[in-house]
Homo-oligomer: A and B are copies of this chain.
Amino acid sequence: MIARLLISCADGPGIVAAVSSFLAARGANILSSDQHTTDPSGGRFFMRMVVRLADGEDDGGAALERDFAAAVGTPLGMTWRISYPARRKRVAILVSREEHCLLDLLWRARRDELEADVVRVISNHPDAAADVASFGVPFAHVPVPAGAKEEAEERLLELVDGCDLVVLARYMQILSGGFLDRLAVPVINIHHSFLPAFVGAEPYRQARERGVKIIGATAHYVTEALDAGPIIEQDVVRVSHRDDVEALARIGRDVERTVLARAVDAHLQDRTIIDGSTTVVF
């Protein structure tokens, strides 16, 4: 069985040795390892290890996690988690009218490029129903009428219950802090600008007005502050004075869907660790 170990803690000598000796003693082989230290003196330490567990570890990780906590995690004051690729994550996708990011994720999921099952698509518009149905994924229409956001969020909470990740694939409603708290799983959003440029509405119009020569897209974890969550991935594309707002939006769509897909992929592969208002992406 393959396991992935993600760790963050105060930096100090012996962390890698403690972890790798624990794993070696247990017969686990380290397949890959990435680490990062924000500052060699007094900084924070981050590590991602992929290991092949010994054949005996057949209880789904319970013993491993208990022993790791006792021997390494707790003594060294670590924040850590272990995940198992064999347990595919369950993903819900929220979308409004623009369907390019949604379709791209569904295509990738069908092609088995994503390490997850898309278990539900939810939209505040009915438009995407037929597309989603053709992928055999359940679709739910949850309108958000003016003044009835609370009820809509209740309905959303029911529908995404049991999911490990919620992806906002151009979902144009702002989710309340209360919703995010109760949801309690990560939410990834795609913003159609190179953040922190052009926060908020109509970023392509803002970009046109400012006359930028490059536009971009940003995938980030959602926090209550609008467009301010930790950035996972960004990319850009060159534009010119010839591109009006519609052209920018069309060109931007290609960047949006690619950036969102990369960010979702990085999250699903447990390559991301949040570090305050930023992310470490291994």
Contact = CB atoms under 8 A, between A and B. Distances in A.
B29 A250 contact: no
A173 interface: no
Contacts of A52: 40
Contacts of A111: 100
Nearest to A261: B254
Chain A: interface secondary structure? mixed
Given A17-B23, A52-B40, A195-B197, A210 B32 contact: no
A236 B211 contact: no
A55 interface: no
A16 interface: yes
Interface in A190-228: 194-198, 209-214, 216
A224 B13 CA distance: 44
A277 B32 contact: no
Contacts of A20: 16-17, 20-21
A75 to B, nearest CB: 14
A113 interface: yes
A275 B240 CA distance: 13
A231 interface: yes
A63 to B, nearest CB: 19
A28 interface: yes
Contacts of A28: 13
A6 to B, nearest CB: 14
A278 interface: yes
Nearest to A52: B40
B40 A31 contact: yes
Pairs of residues from A and B, 5 with the lowest C-beta to C-beta distance, nearest first: A211-B278, A17-B24, A13-B29, A17-B20, A197-B197
13 contacts: A16-B16, A17-B24, A21-B21, A21-B24, A31-B37, A32-B37, A130-B134, A195-B197, A196-B210, A211-B230, A211-B231, A214-B216, A240-B281
Interface of A: 12-18, 20-21, 23-24, 27-37, 40, 52, 100, 103, 107, 111, 113, 130, 134, 194-198, 209-214, 216, 230-236, 238, 240-242, 250, 254, 258, 261, 275, 277-281
Given A195-B197, A212-B234, A214-B234, 19 more contacts: A13-B29, A14-B24, A14-B29, A17-B21, A17-B24, A21-B24, A31-B40, A33-B34, A194-B194, A196-B197, A209-B277, A211-B231, A211-B277, A212-B231, A213-B233, A214-B216, A236-B236, A241-B275, A241-B279
